[in-house]
């Protein structure tokens, strides 16, 4: 888990901006684009469900693509009480194309390109690129962050198992 002030991309320091969202905090409301013109609002989505929300630079990079696929593979075993969201600043068309080409159908995918509220709300906006850092958050059914991982090296993969375990623990309590 990284300190937001010590994140790198290919070993070079990058600057993240936004809110310091820590375990126990509740994310502010934010909007994401699912498909044009469909916009979802976080405040309308919670409804007691556990969410794993993972972010990445772009689905058109190898590590981000693998992250998309790896969470999709694991999501099929999670049940209806845990929902996985993949968020990037890719255009919705690129996310949809990739999902169709790679049979991504067990997770939801969203774009933060239009509003930028997710990146700012979760403190993972990479100022240097106007993209999102690689991160994973688990939000429990009460809307509180119970797990947070912001990768210290953006090119590294998240700890899939730790996020899944946190989500399962939250869903069973």
Q: Which of 21, 85, 29 is nearest to 53 (CA)?
A: 85
Query: Which residues are identified as catalytic?
Result: 64
β-sheet bridge partners, residue 150: 135
């Amino acid at each position: 888990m990284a300190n937001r002030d010590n994140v790198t991309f290919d070993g070079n320091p990058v600057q993240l901006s936004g809110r310091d969202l820590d375990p126990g905090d509740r994310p502010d409301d934010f909007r994401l684009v699912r498909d044009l013109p469909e916009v979802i609002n976080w405040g309308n989505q919670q409804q007691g469900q556990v969410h794993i929300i993972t972010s990445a630079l772009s689905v058109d990079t190898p590590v981000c693509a693998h992250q998309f696929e790896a969470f999709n593979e694991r999501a099929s075993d999670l049940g209806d009480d845990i929902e996985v969201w993949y968020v990037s600043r890719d255009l919705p068309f690129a996310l949809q194309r990739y999902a169709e080409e790679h049979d991504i159908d067990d997770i939801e995918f969203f774009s933060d390109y239009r509003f930028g509220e997710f990146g700012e709300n979760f403190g993972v906006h990479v100022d240097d690129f106007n993209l999102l850092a690689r991160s994973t958050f688990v939000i429990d059914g009460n809307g509180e962050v119970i797990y947070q991982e912001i990768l210290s090296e953006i090119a590294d993969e998240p700890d899939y198992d730790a996020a899944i375990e946190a989500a399962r623990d939250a869903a069973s309590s």
